[in-house]
Chain A
């Protein structure tokens, strides 16, 4: 439990020694570790040192009054529950104490039952607060998971487009789960929080599975081949990544060759294939702190019947071992920031276009991707 105090400690404040003794015996009998103080000043010292979550204080004391002590304690740790002990006829004072958020008050002479009821109220409130804290924590974790998921999904580009209906429904369910939790939380309806939470968890799992399914079925998807103006297409790709590059103060060089190159391809697919490589290039630059500036080159070229995309970065580069693994599904060196989807998808898209990917890379020098696809595809019979 994450609380900023000690739930089994009680601070008891009263200027009359016999009252302190009687209550102390009763509280110790209920399993509390009891600290006693005979005035407000002493009480504050003990409070700061022992951090009890429950304070029991007399309202009328010489020096600092019970109400003043209450206000000071609430100021130091608002999560503390304060029970006020009042004398006969102190009704006005008692009501004033509630205004300053005392949890309860009991009147002298103190009955065992009244004390137990007040303690139970205080404890219930403390436990409720702990639960709320726990729910808030798991809500935060889940929301982060949702955002990461959405980011990953959107970086997959086309894949999302084609299965978007299902995914969109599931994302809406996630929102629903969060909404139910938040709404229940605000109204302190804990059973309903659990309901939202389980919807959320179940949906996260379904999306994860769905993403895997998409990946495996991606290879089987039919290409939609169209004649594309390459310079325009490349400019569209650049626009998507430009912001990320510029935001990170990386130099960006574009060279899209002549205006009239045309190529038959599935533009959406090639688009995301290139974005994945460009994304990695940015990451590689950001990961390399040894250089004072970085540069990414995105170039289009052609040679007999083939279209060539070149993407160069001045980032961290890779060793041979890494180079061999980068196209594997789930291979990533980026911990929770990477899924290892990117190049796996790029690779399968380029293969579907009967193309090839070559790369040169060296640690500390940077990486150079070279993607070649035939400009025309003869229709298969």
Chain B
């Protein structure tokens, strides 16, 4: 087990290294520079700024500098916002994104599992068709369209929720829903089919032959096994929620990390791009690791050893 985790950490470091390298070269390849965007500085001033941030060095020196500062987890000062360090920006905005993300995940998993189970219990009956249709709709509507629809109908027309901003729980409901619905639909379908598969298996019949009631069989036997695929889906879900937040935070004007990430790219704010990318990568890679370890605990058939699944 320990050996397995160590091995996984080695992989994580390799992955991080690759991500940093690719990000670095993509930033270089993209046209423009942090200081070229809006106001055009006199050439002397731009040269001075470039020198200050080390942008006049040859690429391999810059690359080395990035690697070193990233290894120290110090991403330097924003090139756009004077006097603000990238680390501070992450520390400020991440809790907001985390709140939003966790809320979206709870919504997606909670309602997804509920709808999926209900659909399976009423297989091929009205409830099943309704739930399946909603799930397919949810999967097919992109989050940014849903965000707009929610803002328009629930925010503007019905005035039930604030349209944008970040000022308490009520502000988080619409953006969290916008992020969650696609995943909710996906999880509902996943749980439904996996539950139906479990219900056709011999051990469920065996559980019934023991004298357990329909609900007893569900809660004591089939649900847990039916939820195993959902655990596997948690890592991609996490990634999906993060990417969803990039757009949705923009639409709802939420000062979260996703918003900073997107604006940093349009601003060519190299330090912030690198900082947020590395931060997101670390979180994602750790999430995947945690899910794998969790899976090993939930499913006794899976033994975590030396990176191979037995």
> Do chains A and B interact in one complex?
no
Residues of B bordering A, CB below 8 Å: none
